Amino acid sequence: MEPAIAVTARCEIRSVIRFLNAQKLRPIEIHRQLEEVYGKACISVQHVGKWCREFSEGRTDVHDEQRSGRPSVSDEVVAKIERILLDHAPYSPDLAPTDFHLFPKLKQHLGGQRFNTDEEVKEAVSKFIDGLAAEFFAEGFQKWITHQEKCLEKSGD
């Protein structure tokens, strides 16, 4: 079944949640009504619950709040950065941490194993990556910095 309203703004959905929450509907019922109108992918029941709590605690604004994080960037800033950066090959295994740090360890871990399906391979890779400590990734990042410095010293060669 196609949703009655296929495209909507987040603030519109939040307004509906605020309205139905004020009528004392439970989040699960609000979610069911939202899905009827906006379709299955509109918002999760957990997010409906989050917004119901916020509105019950006194929030009235349905718009996004300013938050820290990655700032938006203008075309002018992007152009300045592009002028500053060195030209480089679109792909270099010497500068890709997956190639010089992760994949060799993964290859060693999976070596000699036999898999019957793609799913078995995906599961083995996921377990391997999930089992890696944060230090492994920090080490890879440090190696990447060293590789970048060498590349700059040699003007990209």
Handedness of CA 35, 39, 40, 41 (dihedral sign): negative
Q: Pull the structure tokens for residue 115.
A: 């898999």
Regarding predicted confidence, which is higher, 22 or 42?
22
Amino acid at 95: L
Q: Would you give the distance in Å from CA 152 to the centre of its chain?
A: 30
Tell me the mean pLDDT in the region 1-25: 83
Tell me the mean pLDDT in the region 23-37: 93
- pLDDT the model gives residue 57: 94
Q: Pull the structure tokens for residue 128.
A: 């391997």
- CATH topology for the 10-56 domain: Arc Repressor Mutant, subunit A (1.10.10)
Report whether 43 contacts 31 (CB < 8 A): yes
3-state SS of 28-41? HHHHHHHHHHHCCC
Domain boundaries for CATH 1.10.10 within the chain: 10-56
Band the pLDDT of 92: cuts 50, 70, 90: low
Q: Pull the structure tokens for residue 149.
A: 């410095």
Residue 59 CB neighbour total at 10 angstroms:
13
CA dist 145 and 150 (Å) reads: 9
Report whether 35 contacts 65 (CB < 8 A): no
